[in-house]
Every structure is written in structure tokens, then in C-alpha cells.
């Protein structure tokens, strides 16, 4: 039976790996070799990666690909995409090329407001609390002057504080609902620092406030934290063209447009389809977010909450045919940054941002929303024409061959062999072993 390990964090990286290998692996030496194989030969760069998180033992690589030909607001971009899933980058590039010949993508930022909250309990008279809030609000703002000075110099800072009574949902529960503008920064540290100071000021002020009884002075702070649900930090992207320009090889333009619109409508009314539909959107969004050093978990959580904002989970995209015009659009919350965090530390993140022309946060919001729209367009186009498997499995072919430990010559042979065939796992495996038998 395995025992808890003491003092693990104080061990060196090699000591941690030795303990891990001996405790959990049948072949410790093989495990150690694999872990060390992914260390960077540049010791300075490896030390930088080691310090991103705690208890590092190795690096976990994801491929960094590029999707060219994205025409966004009449400006041409090549998008960096960090993702492990086959066919995503190819599909994004294909969609970008398709729309670059039809006027490109149009995108606009609707708002950039971020949110944080101080959650607390209060057991007294609600009217007294409202009066106290009006009294303490100027002090709340003045007490964060040192924290917000640099942000305010750049044009950002706290944009609002309001008291919210949530006792209808939870006994004695209130919150300070605060809004922020963080410009090109992701702003998490700034927002949380402001919130924690708000909490200290609010609690201390309550203890000294003459309008409260002794019991009412006992405001209890539960927690102070930013929210990853940012419905007022939102971006919209769209494409449109004449229906006749949807000249697919597989069906007439009007039929393609109508099937496409119906596919999106199905995702709007059926949550089972909507989840998979939106996963396709996030294939594009997450890949760009990872490549640019942003927090894809925060974005995922916020976007999926937004998809369910009306009480039912639904599609993030909309499609329509009005007269002879086809339109496809997306509107999503995206709280992104282009300064701070990994953006100034990770060498590949810095190159990815430079590839995009060192965009501002609002510009990166537009680029990222377009990546999601492009990916969704590519997926739906495949679904309503040839089906998703033909293209996906062709891109997945090399993964299957690598699992089978194919040689380079065998890989080249099967890429040619499956050029005009559907490459399922079974068909590739059968063809592979037949070739091996002949050899």
C-alpha cells in the first residue's frame, strides 16, 4: 500500500522524478528517460518553464500550427493555433480561404467590461445596509488608489460598484458587484487585489458605522474573487455573401444554404446537438487562446454559461438566409489579454502575438471570435455535405499509422493509398497488416 510522501515540494526535480518513477511505474528507468527526454536543452529556458507552475517534472508539448488567409476587417492574418486534435487547423485554414474570396470576416467588440464580486453575509436591516453602502462607497474607491493608479493612468480601473441583495436566493447573502476596465491586460491580479481591499474596507467600516446596531456591525466576508462570466465583455463576428456564391461541389448553393441554416437551428433548440456544435466553436477559440497565452478554462466556463443565459443551453452561432443573402454570425464573451502573465514570459506566446501583429486585447478578441466562427462553419459544411468522418479521418490517418509504428515509407504509401478513400481506424489497420504480410 502506497504511503503519503512528506516534504515533496522541497525535493529537487530529479528527486521528484525518481520518487515518482519508483512508486508508480513498472519500469522506472523507462519512465525517467521519457520524462527527461522532454526537458529543454536550453537550461535557462527550461528553468523558465519549471517556474510557471509547482512540482514540475517535465514539459507537456502540444503542436503549434498556423492557419493562414484570415481576412478580418480587411486585414490579412495568419492565426497561431495550439491544439492536439486532427483536422482543426486544416479546417480553419480552409474556411479562411473560402471566406477570403467572399469579402472576409467582419468583427466588432461590443464591450470590454469585466466583473468581480465581494460575497458577504449581513443579518440586519436591509435599508440600513443600503444607507451604509452609500456612506462607504467613496472610501472603497479611495482605499484602492495605490492599487489602481497605474491602471487608471492607462485609462482603465474600476468602473462601478453596486450593492446586490441576494437574500431571495440565499439567507443573509449580499454582494458587492464590481465592474472593471483592464485594457490590454487580462487583469485577474488587478481585479482580485481591488476586491480584497474592498472587502477589508467594507468590513472595517461596518464595525465603525454608527448607523448599525452591534449585531449589524458583524458583516462576515465570505470571499472576494473575479467572475469568469463576463457577458459585458463581448465580441461579434460574421460573414455573409450571396447564396449563389456558396458554390459547393456537393450540392446546389440554395440547397446548401438551407441545410446549413437548418443545422444551426437544430443546435439552437436541442442541447445534445448544441454541446457538440459549440465544442466545434471552441476548437478554434481554445487553439488561439492557448497559442497566445490566455486562460482557456476561464473562457470556456464563461462562454458555456453565456450559451445557457436564457435558461437553456443553445448554439453560440446563428445562420440565416434573407432573400438572396446568406449570413453566419457569432457573439461570445471573451476576456483576453495581450500583456502580463505568459504573454511576456513564454517565448512561443510572444512569437504568436508578434505573428498577429502584436494586437491589442480588443483586436485579439475579434481574431479569436473569428477563429471560432470559421471552425464552426467548416464543421457544419462537412456535416451537411460529405459528413464529418471523411475529412477528419484523413487528417487522423497519421495518428493511426504512428500508433501502428509504421515506417516513413509505409506512411507515404498509405497517404497515397487513402487519398481517394475513407480512412477509418479499421480500414487503415486492415490495409496496414495486409501490406506487412506481403512484405
CB contact at 8 A, 260 and 319: yes
Q: Which of 310, 313, 216, 305 is nearest to 271 (CA)?
A: 313
DSSP string, 323-372: TTEEEEEEEEE----SBSGGGGT-HHHHHHHHHTTS--HHHHHHHHHHHH
Catalytic residue, candidates 50, 143, 238, 295: 295
Is-catalytic flag, 250?
no
> Does residue 125 carry a catalytic annotation?
no
Grid coordinates given for 256: 446548401
Q: Is 425 a catalytic residue?
A: no
Burial of 296 (0-12, 13-18, 19+ CB in 10 A): middle
Q: Which residues pair with 165 in a beta bridge?
A: 174
CA distance 195 to 199: 6
Cα–Cα distance, 63 to 87 (Å, whole number): 13
Per annotation, catalytic residue among 94, 277, 346, 392: 392
Q: What is the dihedral of CA 241, 243, 244, 248, to 10 degrees?
A: 90
Q: Is 85 a catalytic residue?
A: yes
Q: Which of 181, 170, 177, 173 is nearest to 195 (CA)?
A: 177
Q: Which of 13, 18, 85, 390 is catalytic?
A: 85
Phi, psi (rounded to 5 degrees) for 342: -70, -15
**CA–CA distance from 146 to each of 114, 213, 235, 249 (Å)?**
20, 32, 31, 62
DSSP secondary structure, 286-326, as one string: HHHHHHTT--HHHHHHHHHHHHTTTSS---SEEEEEETTEE
Apex 296 CA angle, 291 and 299, nearest 5: 130
Q: What does the block give as the cell for 71?
A: 481576412
The Cα–Cα gap between 217 and 129 comes to 10
* CA 3/CA 96 separation, integer angstroms: 54
SS3 373: helix
Q: Choosing from 279, 350, 390, 421, which is the catalytic residue?
A: 279
Burial 17-31 (b: 16+ CB within 10 A, else e): beebbeeeeeebeeb
Active site residues: 85, 279, 295, 392
Amino acid at each position: 500500500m502506497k504511503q503519503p510522501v512528506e516534504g515533496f515540494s522541497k525535493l529537487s526535480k530529479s528527486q521528484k522524478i525518481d520518487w515518482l518513477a519508483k512508486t508508480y511505474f513498472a519500469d522506472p528507468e523507462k519512465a525517467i528517460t521519457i520524462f527527461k527526454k522532454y526537458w529543454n536543452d536550453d537550461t535557462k529556458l527550461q528553468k523558465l518553464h519549471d517556474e510557471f507552475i509547482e512540482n514540475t517534472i517535465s514539459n507537456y508539448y502540444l503542436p503549434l500550427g498556423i492557419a493562414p488567409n484570415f481576412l478580418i476587417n480587411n486585414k490579412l492574418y495568419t492565426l497561431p493555433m495550439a491544439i492536439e486534435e486532427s483536422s482543426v487547423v486544416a479546417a480553419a485554414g480552409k474556411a479562411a480561404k473560402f471566406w477570403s474570396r467572399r469579402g472576409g470576416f467582419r468583427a466588432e467588440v461590443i464591450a470590454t467590461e469585466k466583473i468581480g464580486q465581494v460575497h458577504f453575509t449581513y443579518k440586519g436591516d436591509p435599508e440600513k445596509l443600503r444607507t451604509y453602502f452609500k456612506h462607504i462607497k467613496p472610501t472603497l474607491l479611495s482605499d484602492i488608489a495605490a492599487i489602481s493608479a497605474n491602471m487608471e493612468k492607462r485609462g482603465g480601473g474600476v468602473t462601478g460598484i453596486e450593492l446586490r441583495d441576494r437574500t431571495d436566493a440565499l439567507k443573509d447573502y449580499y454582494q458587492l458587484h464590481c465592474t472593471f476596465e483592464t485594457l490590454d491586460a487580462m487583469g485577474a491580479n488587478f481585479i482580485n487585489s481591488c476586491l480584497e481591499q474592498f472587502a477589508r474596507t467594507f468590513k472595517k467600516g461596518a464595525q465603525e458605522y454608527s448607523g448599525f446596531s452591534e449585531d449589524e456591525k458583524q458583516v462576515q466576508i465570505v470571499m472576494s474573487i473575479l467572475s469568469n462570466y463576463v457577458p459585458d465583455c463581448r465580441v461579434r463576428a460574421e460573414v455573409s455573401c450571396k447564396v449563389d456564391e456558396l458554390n459547393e461541389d456537393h450540392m446546389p448553393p440554395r440547397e446548401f444554404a438551407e441545410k446549413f441554416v437548418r443545422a444551426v437551428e437544430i443546435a439552437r433548440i436541442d442541447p445534445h446537438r448544441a454541446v457538440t456544435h459549440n465544442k466545434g466553436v471552441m476548437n478554434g477559440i481554445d487553439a488561439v487562446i492557448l497559442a497566445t497565452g490566455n486562460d482557456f478554462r476561464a473562457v470556456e466556463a464563461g462562454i458555456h454559461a453565456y450559451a445557457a443565459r436564457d435558461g437553456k443551453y443553445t448554439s453560440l452561432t446563428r445562420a440565416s438566409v434573407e432573400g438572396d443573402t446568406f449570413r453566419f454570425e457569432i457573439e461570445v464573451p471573451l476576456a483576453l489579454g495581450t500583456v502580463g502573465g505568459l504573454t511576456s514570459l513564454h517565448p512561443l506566446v510572444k512569437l504568436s502575438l508578434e505573428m498577429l501583429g502584436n494586437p491589442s486585447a480588443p483586436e485579439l478578441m475579434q481574431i479569436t471570435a473569428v477563429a471560432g466562427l470559421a471552425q464552426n462553419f467548416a464543421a457544419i459544411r462537412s456535416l451537411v455535405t460529405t459528413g464529418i468522418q471523411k475529412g477528419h479521418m484523413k487528417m487522423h490517418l497519421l495518428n493511426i499509422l504512428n500508433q501502428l509504428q509504421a515506417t516513413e515509407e509505409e506512411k507515404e504509401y498509405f497517404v497515397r493509398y487513402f487519398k481517394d478513400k475513407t480512412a477509418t481506424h479499421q480500414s487503415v489497420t486492415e490495409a496496414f497488416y495486409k501490406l506487412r504480410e506481403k512484405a
